[in-house]
A = this chain, B = another copy of it.
Amino acid sequence: MKKEKQTFIAEARRKQIMEAAIQTLDEIGFVKASLTQIAKRAGISTALISYHFKDKFDLMNHLLVKLMEDSISFILKKTRQENTIEKQLSAFIMASLEYQYTHSERNTALIEIVFNARTAENVPYYKINEEDDVNPLLEELKRILREGQDNGVFGDFQVEIMATIIQGSIGEYMFNPQLTKNVNWKTYGHELVNMFERIVKKS
C-alpha cells in the first residue's frame, strides 16, 4: 500500500534530492537546511523539490525512514552472518560502531532529523513512544540475550536492562567527542565486546 507507481525519473530525482538533503544536514544542520540550500546542493530549483515532495515535513520524513532502514539492515545483516550467540553479540556491537564510522554523513543526518523534526502533533521524534512500531535493533539485541540465556551460555540478568546498557554504550561513543578522537571505533568496539562478554557470561 506504500509503493505508488513511480516513474524512473521521479524515483531517481527523489533519491538525488534525499542525497542532497543528507549532505545539507551534515554540513549546516537542520535549522539552516532550507529547501534553497538543499536545492543548491542538488543543482536544481527549489520548486522541483516541492514537485516531488508534498512539503518539507514529507521530505524529512521519507529521509528519516530511509536512513533508519539503511542503518538497521547494515547491522542486522552483519549480525546474522554469525552462527553462534556470542559471535552475534560481538558482531552486533562492532557493526553498530562501524556504521557510525563508515557512514558518518548519514549518521549525522539521522541525528539532525531525530532531534529536530516533529510529528504533525508537535511531538519530537526522540520522544515518540513506539508501542506497535518497535525498534528492530533493540529487538534483535534482546533476542540474542534471551537465546544466550536459554542456551546456557549467558548467565542470569534482566534482558531489558542489559540490552539498554549495551545500546547506551554503543550510542555514547559518538556523543563523547573526546573518546571519538582519542580511541578509534575498532579499539572501542573490541573493549566493549571484551567487557560485555565478561559481564554476560555464565558465572
Contacts and interface: CB of A to CB of B under 8 A. Distances in A.
A172 B167 contact: yes
A51 interface: no
| Chain multiplicity (copies) | 2
A124 interface: yes
SS of A interface (majority): helix
Contacts of A116: 29-31, 115-116
A181 to B, nearest CB: 6
A172 B126 CA distance: 11
Interface stretch (A37-45, A66-74, A157-165): A157-165
A172 B165 contact: yes
A172 B179 contact: no
A186 to B, nearest CB: 14
A84 interface: no
A168 B162 contact: no
From A28, A127, A135, A173, residue with most partner B Cβ within 10 Å: A127
Contacts of A111: 115, 126
A195 B203 CA distance: 14
Contacts of A177: 126-130
Contacts of A35: none
B29 A158 contact: no
A153 interface: no
Interface in A111-134: 111-112, 115-116, 118, 122, 124, 126-131, 134
A167 to B, nearest CB: 6
A192 interface: yes
Contacts of A8: none
16 contacts: A29-B118, A30-B31, A111-B126, A112-B115, A128-B177, A134-B178, A138-B178, A158-B191, A164-B179, A165-B168, A165-B169, A165-B192, A167-B168, A167-B176, A168-B169, A171-B172
